[in-house]
Amino acid sequence: MTQIIDGKFVASQIRNSLKEEAENLLKLTGKKPGLAAILVGDNSASKIYVNSKSKACNEVGFYSVVKIMESNTNEEELLKVIETFNSDDGIDGILVQLPLPKQIDEDKIIEAISPNKDVDGFHPVSFGKLVIGKETFYPCTPFGIIELLKYYKINTKGKHVVVVGRSNIVGKPIANMLVQKKDGANAIVTICHTAAPDIAFYTKQADILIAAVGKANMITKDMVKDGVVIIDVGINRIDDVNSAKGYKVVGDVDFENIKEKTSFITPVPGGVGPMTIAMLLINTLKSFKQKMNLK
């Protein structure tokens, strides 16, 4: 029988725990964990993401600040803002909402964030530590996937995990996290991408399939085996005449037609998405505790 992985519920449990810990830390230290979010431009989806992160901070008792900059902001101006937050003792985490306008080098911006405040887990120092298995800030979406697998007691040891997608945000980090020799990982990992002549050849072998390509309903019923665990990271808008908005949000997996073939599956929305923000909060709290020399 298929079990739906309820990321919204798990994330709410995490937020409740974080709120309690933040209250205790405020009594102990007189301070709150602080998160700074920087948005360049007026991309509507990016605005929603940034506002949801700020709202989540407020809900758990963190301090948050949102810096909105014009779309014609140049690289030097953005670097100055990052340096200001790097030097601000009240800020424990810095995130720059991606994508950035074309005139700004994303790699240069990511590398400008202090590794001690890299709560997105994108800095080369953070990623390097992840690859060699050292403690670090994990990228939030892969971190959320790991926590969902743990919460639902889905065994990964010796299992064949197939990751469809090779982005620096999801595909590469989740593959590296799951291959580590530790609890909640220790898997055999295959990464698939557009160079594969037949992706289905690999996806049919998956005990756990992680889809992160950004292509609506790409993974179909005939591409997986019975009993597979599916983690769908995709968020795609498709036209829907029956919706008041004129569209609906779907994942990379054909959920309705594939779900009965699975043992566990994440829905879209309500699966991985809420966990991403919850992990951002966990990373921010971790940074705060490191600064305060607290365990």
Catalytic residues: 53, 97, 120
Sole residue written with tokens 């889905």: 154
**3-state SS of 118-172?**
CCCCCCHHHHHHHHCCCCCCCCHHHHHHHHHHHHCCCCCCCCEEEEECCCCCCHH
Amino acid code (one letter) for 191: I
Sole residue written with tokens 């020799």: 181
φ, ψ (nearest 5 deg) of residue 209:
-115, 125
Burial class (CB in 10 A: 0-12, 13-18, 19+), 258: buried
CB 7 within 8 A of CB 277: no
Handedness of CA 201, 206, 210, 215 (dihedral sign): positive
Q: What is the largest CA-CA distance in the chain?
A: 58
Output the six-digit token pair for 209: 């399939």
132: left (phi > 0), else alpha (psi -120 to 50), else beta? alpha
